[in-house]
Each structure stands twice: as C-alpha cells, then as structure tokens.
Amino acid sequence: MDNNTSIALSRLTTQQRTIDMIANNIANASTAGYRAERMVFADFLVPQPRMGTVQGGKQLYFTQDRATYREQTEGTISHTGNPLDLALGGPGYFQVQTAAGPRLTRAGRFGLMPDGTIADESGNALLDTAGQPMKVSVADTQLSVGGDGSLSSENGPLGRIGVSVPADPYKLVAEGSRLLRADTPVTPAVSPKVVQGAVENSDVQPVTELVTMMAAERDFQFVTQYVQAEGQREQNAIDKIAAPQS
C-alpha cells in the first residue's frame, strides 16, 4: 500500500468515527441532561529519514482522532411538575450509586424505589452530600427540594442532595447516555442551583447535527472515491509493467 492510500485511509477511519459520534448525538437529542460529544483531530507525523532534502517529503501527515470531549453548554429546562424531577441551573452534577461505584449525571428524572430510596431511571440511588443514598419514609408524602438541594417533607428536613463539580469536566468518561465517570477529583458545588419539578433537556440541536452529518458523509464519500481511483491507477500501472513485451 502506497503512502497516498495510507494517508487517505487514516482520514476515512477518523471520519467514520465522527459520523458514529454525530449519530449518537442525534439519537440522544431527547435524553435528559445529555451533552453532545465532539472529536478533536490532529496530524500524526511520520518522519521519512531517507527522503534527503526533497522539499515537502520529510514527513507524512496522517489524520488521527486525538480526543473526544463533551460540550459544557447547559440544556434548556422543562418543567414537568413531578416533585422528584430535578434539574441543575448551573455547573455541577448529581451523584448516583451504581454497581461500579458513584457516577455523575445531569439526567434528573428520579423516582421512589419500594424501600423509599430516591433513584434514577436505572434504579441507581441518588446520593446526599455525605455520599449516602437519599431515602424517605412512607409518611413523607409531600416532598420539597430547595435551591441548595435540601430535601424536606411535611414531617421536617430529610437531608441534602449532593451536587458535585469535577476538577476537569472535559475528562469525564461516558458510561451509556446518562452516566459519567470522573477520573479527576470532584468537590461539592459551592452554590448549587437545584430546580424541583423540572428536567434539563439535551443540548443537542438536531438540525445542526444533521447538517454536520451530511457534510461528514460528503467528505467520507470524496475520500472513498479517491482511494478507489488510486487503487485503479496502481492496478493499471501493474498491468502495464507485467504485460509481455512485444
């Protein structure tokens, strides 16, 4: 395989990953608290030590997807009236307890488990400021959540919902469409802004994502045509070289 084809194939690989990422964004356009993923591209330089002094021939420039990150734009807030639907109006994340350990989320659709534990749609317990599951009793029928995350009922205070801020939000690792793993330290939010009876919508703009998808697919098709043309050119050259001399 020649250098031209190798470089083009590196572009095809990264472009396919881009299309997959955009498709995932579109699929989660209605997922509460979801933030769009983006890809960072970079050149991967390969030195060519035996190219001498030929201008432009000392390095090959391959394309690589260097990293991915999530946008930090807040989604719009929709009011639902459900007392256990919670949204965050500022930075930070709710913490839930999963089988793999605590995870962060902005998907604030919570409900009650049979034992009174407040949990997300997957049954992961919502944690308080001390890292313990939030629970209510059968006697607590009128739940109220303050802007600072304090939970109370007609019987008095029940605790305070934990809101955490990661040291580097761009290094969060997605686990599914709603949960994030923090590989950097997290600290309690100084002034959380919890909104009761509401959920934060996804920040994905479907029309924008579709336009980006079409542009990415056009690039993919162009590079594919180039690779096919290069393959045909090389085959023609081989046929001429291998042809018997008359």
**14 pLDDT above the threshold of 60:** yes
Q: What is the pLDDT of residues 40-95, one digit of tens each?
A: 765 555 555 555 545 555 565 666 666 778 888 889 999 998 999 999 998 899 99
pLDDT confidence tier of residue 17, bands split at 50, 70 and 90: confident
Q: What is the pLDDT of residues 138-156, one digit of tens each?
A: 999 999 999 999 999 999 9
pLDDT of residue 231: 75
Residue at token pair 């802007």: 147
- Token digits for 177? 């469409």
User: What is the DSSP track for the chain?
Assistant: --HHHHHHHHHHHHHHHHHHHHHHHHHTTTSTT---EEEEEEEEEEE-TTSTT-TT-SEEEEEEEEEEEE--PPPPEEE---TTBEEESSS-EEEEEETTEEEEE---B-EE-TTSBEE-TTSPEEBBTTS-B-B--TT--S-EE-TT-EEEETTEEEEEB-EEEES-GGG-EEETTTEEE-SS-EEE-SS--EEETEEEPP---HHHHHHHHHHHHHHHHHHHHHHHHHHHHHHHHHHHHHSPP-
pLDDT of residue 210: 93
pLDDT of residue 149: 95
**161 pLDDT above the threshold of 90:** yes
**132 pLDDT above the threshold of 70:** yes
Phi then psi for residue 109, to 5 deg, are -85, 100
Q: What is the pLDDT of residues 199-239, one digit of tens each?
A: 999 999 999 999 999 998 988 888 888 778 877 877 777 77
What residues form DSSP beta bridges with 241? none
